[in-house]
Structures are given as C-alpha cells and as structure tokens.
A and B are shown apart, each in its own frame.
Chain A
Amino acid sequence: MRDNEAKALELPNTNGLLHRRVFLKGGAAIASIPFLAAGVSAEDRSAPDLVPEWTREPGAGMSPYGDRSHHEADVQRNVVSQPGTVGSGASRTPLQSLEGMITPNSLHFERHHNGVPEIDPKRHQLLIHGMVKRPLTFDLDNLGRYPMVSKMLFIECSGNSAALLAENPVQASVGELHGLVSCANWAGIPLSSLFEEAGVDPAAHWVIAEGADAALMSRSIPLEKIMDDGLLALYQNGERLRPENGYPMRLLLPGWEGNMSVKWLRRLKVVSEPAMTKDETSKYSDVRPDGKSLLFTFPMGVKSVITSPSAGMALRDKGIYQITGLAWSGSGRIQRVEVSADGGATWSEAALDSPVLPKAMTRFRMGWNWSGGPAVLQSRAIDETGAVQPSREAWLAERGRNAVYHYNAIQSWQILQNGDVRNVYV
C-alpha cells in the first residue's frame, strides 16, 4: 500500500491507528498489512527456488497422531519451578506466538503444586459425599453415558501478570508476563446432574474439591457455583484432557480463578462451611492497603493485552502493522476493546473476531500506520457488565502494594525509535 493510501485510512490524532473498516469491511487494505513475526526479517527469507523441491518429490505419509511442523519447535511454554522441585511452579503460554482464540493443548499453561500425577483412568474414581443423601462414586466408564456440554472457556491463574507489580518494568515476553491464561473448548458433565443424583442437603453451602495429585490440592467452592455452571471436564479441544490439565477429569469453574478448577479431581465433599485450606488462606487471598485480607475473591476481572507487537519483538520499518491481542472477563462477554497508540491520550475501538463468547478469550485487531516516531501501545477491555479494565495506576491505588493476585490493569508497550518493543509503566 502506498503512503498516501495508508494516510487516508488513519483516524485523526491517534498516532496512526487505522479505521476499523480495514478489518470490518475486509477492504483491500487488510491484505497488505504485514503480519508481525518476532525476529524474522525480510532478508532472512531468502528467495525460494522458482520450483521448490517439495513439489518434485512425494511427501511424508499419514500419521496416526499429528505433530506441528518442526520449524515451529521453538514455540514453547516458559517453565519456572520452585527451587529444588520440578513439579511445583508453572509453565506459561507463549501468547506472542499464537493467533486466534484457542490455546493448543500442548501450550495450555500449567500450574502444579507437586507435579503431574500418572493416573490410571481405569482405577480413578470421583467421590461425591458429605451432606448428601447418597455418597456416590463415578468412574470414567459410567460418566461417559451422562449428557455432556461443551464450552469455550478461558482459565486464568489469579497470580497471572504479577510481574507487573515489580517496581521497575520487567523486560520479558507477553507470554512470560501474562501467559498464565489459556482458552480451550472444554467438554464434560454439568456437575449439577451428579449432585442432583447424590441428593444435596439444603443446609449445605460449600463443596470441598480435592485433586488426586501429590499435593491433594484442595479448595472450597460455593455450592451455588457448582450448581450454576460447574463442569466436570473430560475433554479439552476435542481430545481427552492432557495429563497436565487434569487427566482424566478436572473441575472447571467458568470465569473463576484457575486454582479453584481443581485438576485430577477425585473428591467433592458437600459441607456447611469452607475448609480454609492452605491454597485459599496462605495463598490466593488478597491483602488490602488497610492490612485486611480478602478470602474468596473468585471471579477474574475484565482484562486484555496486546500480543503483537509486544515486548521482545521489533518493528523493522515504519508503515502498516496489525495490532492484535486477547481480551477476556470472568463476568461474561467482552463488549468492546479500545486501543491507544499514544499511551492512553486517545482510544479507538478495535475490531473483534467472532464469535465473542462469555468467559472465553476474544481476539481483537486494529490497523496501525507507524510513523517511525515514539508510540506507546495499550489496550483496554470493557465487558458486558460495563466493567472497564483499569490503568495500572488506578489498580495500584485501589489494591495497594501488598496485593499479589487478580492483577488486570492495562499493559503498555513502548515502541522505541529503532522499532524495539519494551514493557513500560506510563
């Protein structure tokens, strides 16, 4: 696209953001927007032979279970564990390398407290007991006959993005900073049907969920949530759960902090009071500025982040780029995402890929004509309840410096004169 054509698409006084019709109307402009890839320059792509060899020899055969291209082998989760352990810690989704709204199963983030158990699905059972008429067990075989539902849902660890609380901006990729969130199509059994079968005592209010891992991960869940939309998930993006995501069955609580969606679920005890487990008191509780600590801060806030361009990438030349990222909210659908190229002075509405689903990731896009001058890129999500993603300043003012969880503030990426992208606080 020529310079004057690009200029004509610019929204006035926005530091180069392009009109949404670039995406909405599928106009000619979209074809010429180069996709930004970290570390790949035009020079690296040496001109291919006029007739490449792969058209002149038979290709590889079919395979019973597919793998990605070996050229993509460096797209990996970022693994960090507690000293002296391999199984207590997390691996983060490389958001900078992914497109669309679905996280491939091999790249879904992980958070474990004592490793991934090796569970024999034939011996695994789910026990529902406590304040019920009939304590019941279910195995994978008989669960297979229950009516299932499937839903696109994000899971986000409430410790996601905590690196943004550091005094000085940490220089790391968007995946390393914000990759404790993923989105998949989860299929399973609404827990309400299993609880109905067990017959819940009306005086019960909580359910203690427990995993079959070596940490026997345990959380207290309001019975109301279980009955409302609690899912016993068996499938992830069409195939059985991955071991690191709870094989053969996990709890899934749409929109709520990831730690509660207990993996390798083996037991649900119906009780009147929460158990105050280690992972809902010592951890995953929120210290307020006044010194009080909040227990049971369950829903994840409205949030978005630009995944490209993002820290660690480099813009090679001035000209047209696509700004894209992900938005999600634990309270429902994303209503709108706004993008700024001038550090929040002006905001313009981004285009949203469809479908826009409740408690799932939404992909947003915005065209941008980079003048080669200074720019700070930001995105701000608004959900269907009207909740607006806060600035970092506002978040810190409200939650204070001792808070660790539920960070959902606006991310700022600075574009330096040489095109390098950095994490900054504005």
Chain B
Amino acid sequence: MSRFALRLSMVLMLSASAAHAQNLSPAAPLSPQLGKVASGELVAAWDMTILPSGDGLPQGSGTTETGARLYLEHCVACHGEGGVGGLNNVLVSDEPRPFGETGGKRTVGNYWPYATTLFDYIRRAMPYSHPQSLDDNEVYALTAYLLYRNGVVPAHFEANASALPKVVMPNQEYFIRAYPDWNP
C-alpha cells in the first residue's frame, strides 16, 4: 500500500470513529466520483508549469537582440530603461555577484536561483496590463535579454528549451530547501 493510501485509510478510520462518537452515520468521506476526464486539449491549453529541469518549456527560441527591442516595446514603461529606475520592480542587479556574497537589492541576476523561473513568470504574468499576450519566441527573447542585462549570459545568447535549464544563476548555491525540516 502506498504512503498516501495508508494515510488515507487511517483518516477514514479516524473520521468514521469520530462520526460514530457523535452518533452520525459513518459515511463521511464517501466520494460521489463526479470528476470528468480532462481532454488532452484542455490540459495542453492550461498547462503552463515549467520545472527547473526544463520540463514544460515549449518549443521556440529568442535572442538577446530581439529581447532588447521587445523590452522597449512592452516593459520599459514600468521597469525603466535597461531594467532599472522604473516605477515597478527593478529587474537588473548592480553587479552579477551572488546576493549571498555581496548583499544589496535582490533581483533577477543576483538572487533568482533558476533561469527557467524568468521564462515562466514573464509568460504567465507580464506585461502586467496584457498578461499572456506574448508568444513563446518573444518570451524566450525577453528572458535572454534580461539574463544578459544581469550579466548572466553573453551579449549574443539564444534562449530555448535546451539552453535555459543549463544557465547557472549566480546565487543558486546559496539556496537551501527548508521543507520539511524548518520550524517557524
């Protein structure tokens, strides 16, 4: 029996006895099983999850040069020229050194542990006023441009499904997974 099946049967037993104690029918967790099998189409249309391994990254690609142009068109109004000095979040760190070493203002280049996160976030949430309006090539290009501006990749860089997971972000080794050991 799997870990979860075991846990679930314990839950069932516990809630059954609790129900009994209150003189209720012990039927509580019986499921009517009304879920409809999802079409592959729906899953494909909705599944935007990208893992650091690159799992979920779409086809397509984009270069730093294209990204620079797109940035001026879609992002500069809120994030400032070259990613600094805008009304909203700073997107470029002063130096490409890990935050864990030098401190300073946390942003993409000196703090974010994975480059895949940048693609994922721009694709789902930016530009703020028109989220999900850019195509995957454009998102790759903007990702490449912001990585370049942060000193993480060279001036000519093409972001795509195989290149992005290989980018090692400067602060990555400073991250520790706290779950499940951390207590507040």
Among A173-181, A265-273, A312-320, the stretch in contact with B? A265-273
Per DSSP, are chain B's interface residues mostly helix, strand or loop, or mixed? loop
Among A31-39, A138-146, A350-358, the stretch in contact with B? A138-146
Q: Which of A136, A146, A291 contacts B99 (CB 8 A)?
A: A291
Give the CA-CA distance A202 to B55 in the complex, in Å. Answer: 19
Contacts of A293 in B (CB 8 A): 99-100, 111, 171, 174-176
Give 11 new A-B contacts, CB below 8 A, not counting A147-B28, A291-B103.
A127-B43, A136-B36, A136-B37, A137-B38, A197-B31, A218-B120, A276-B113, A282-B106, A282-B121, A292-B100, A293-B174
Q: Do residues B117 and A291 form an inter-chain contact, with CB atoms below 8 A?
A: no
Q: Do residues A277 and B32 form an inter-chain contact, with CB atoms below 8 A?
A: no
Q: Which of A88, A143, A276, A292 contacts B117 (CB 8 A)?
A: A276
B53, chain A: closest CB distance, angstroms: 7
Interface: A192 (CB within 8 A): yes
Q: Which of A88, A114, A146, A406 contacts B34 (CB 8 A)?
A: A146
Identify the B interface with A (CB < 8 A). Answer: 2-4, 7-8, 11, 27-38, 42-43, 46-53, 55, 78, 87-88, 99-101, 103, 106-108, 111-114, 116-117, 120-121, 124-125, 128, 131-132, 171, 174-180, 182-184
A-B contact list, 29 entries, CB within 8 Å: A85-B88, A127-B46, A129-B38, A129-B47, A142-B36, A194-B31, A196-B31, A197-B31, A197-B33, A216-B124, A218-B48, A218-B124, A223-B4, A227-B4, A228-B7, A266-B46, A275-B49, A275-B51, A275-B52, A278-B120, A278-B121, A282-B111, A287-B99, A293-B176, A294-B182, A297-B179, A298-B182, A301-B184, A387-B183
Residues 274-297 of A, flagged 1 when their CB comes within 8 A of B and 0 if not, give 111110011001110001111111
Give the CA-CA distance A190 to B29 in the complex, in Å. Answer: 9
Q: Which of A128, A277, A301, A330 contacts B121 (CB 8 A)?
A: A277
Contacts of A297 in B (CB 8 A): 178-179, 182, 184
Among A8-16, A207-215, A233-241, A361-369, the stretch in contact with B? A207-215
A295 and B31 in contact (CB under 8 A), knowing A135-B43, A215-B131, A406-B184? no
Contacts of A406 in B (CB 8 A): 184
Q: Do residues A114 and B128 form an inter-chain contact, with CB atoms below 8 A?
A: yes
Give the CA-CA distance A291 to B102 in the complex, in Å. Answer: 8
Interface: A402 (CB within 8 A): yes
Give the CA-CA distance A296 to B33 in the complex, in Å. Answer: 32
Instruction: Tell me which of A193, A301, A387 has the highest count of chain B C-beta atoms within 10 A of its own C-beta.
Output: A193
A296 and B179 in contact (CB under 8 A), knowing A200-B4, A202-B4, A406-B184? yes
* Minimal Cβ-Cβ distance residue in B for A201: B2
Q: Which of B28, B31, B46, B178 contacts A267 (CB 8 A)?
A: B46
> What 8 A-B pairs come out closest when comparing CB atoms?
A301-B184, A136-B35, A291-B100, A296-B179, A142-B34, A216-B124, A278-B121, A135-B38
Contacts of B43 in A (CB 8 A): 127, 129, 135
Q: Find residues 72-90 in chain A having any chain B CB closer than 8 Å to their own CB.
A: 82-85, 88
Contacts of B99 in A (CB 8 A): 287, 291, 293
Give the CA-CA distance A197 to B36 in the complex, in Å. Answer: 10
Give the CA-CA distance A293 to B25 in the complex, in Å. Answer: 49
A138 and B34 in contact (CB under 8 A), knowing A278-B117, A300-B184? yes
Q: Do residues A202 and B2 form an inter-chain contact, with CB atoms below 8 A?
A: yes
Give the CA-CA distance A113 to B121 in the complex, in Å. Answer: 12
B168, chain A: closest CB distance, angstroms: 14
Interface: A408 (CB within 8 A): yes
* Minimal Cβ-Cβ distance residue in B for A148: B28
Q: Find residues 115-133 in chain A having any chain B CB closer than 8 Å to their own CB.
A: 127-130
Q: Do residues A216 and B48 form an inter-chain contact, with CB atoms below 8 A?
A: yes
Q: Do residues B179 and A215 form an inter-chain contact, with CB atoms below 8 A?
A: no
Contacts of A129 in B (CB 8 A): 38, 43, 47
* Minimal Cβ-Cβ distance residue in A for B37: A134
Q: Do residues B88 and A269 form an inter-chain contact, with CB atoms below 8 A?
A: no
Give the CA-CA distance A133 to B116 in the complex, in Å. Answer: 27
Q: Do residues A281 and B46 form an inter-chain contact, with CB atoms below 8 A?
A: no
Interface: A344 (CB within 8 A): no
Q: Which of B2, B131, B179 contacts A298 (CB 8 A)?
A: B179
Q: Which of A114, A135, A192, A216 contacts B8 (CB 8 A)?
A: A192
Contacts of A300 in B (CB 8 A): 184
Interface: A299 (CB within 8 A): yes
* Minimal Cβ-Cβ distance residue in B for A278: B121
Give the CA-CA distance A137 to B182 in the complex, in Å. Answer: 34
A202 and B179 in contact (CB under 8 A), knowing A127-B42, A266-B46, A271-B49? no
Contacts of B132 in A (CB 8 A): 216
Contacts of A113 in B (CB 8 A): 125
Contacts of B183 in A (CB 8 A): 299, 331, 387
* Minimal Cβ-Cβ distance residue in B for A115: B128
* Minimal Cβ-Cβ distance residue in A for B4: A227
A282 and B117 in contact (CB under 8 A), knowing A127-B46, A271-B51? yes
Give the CA-CA distance A266 to B116 in the complex, in Å. Answer: 22
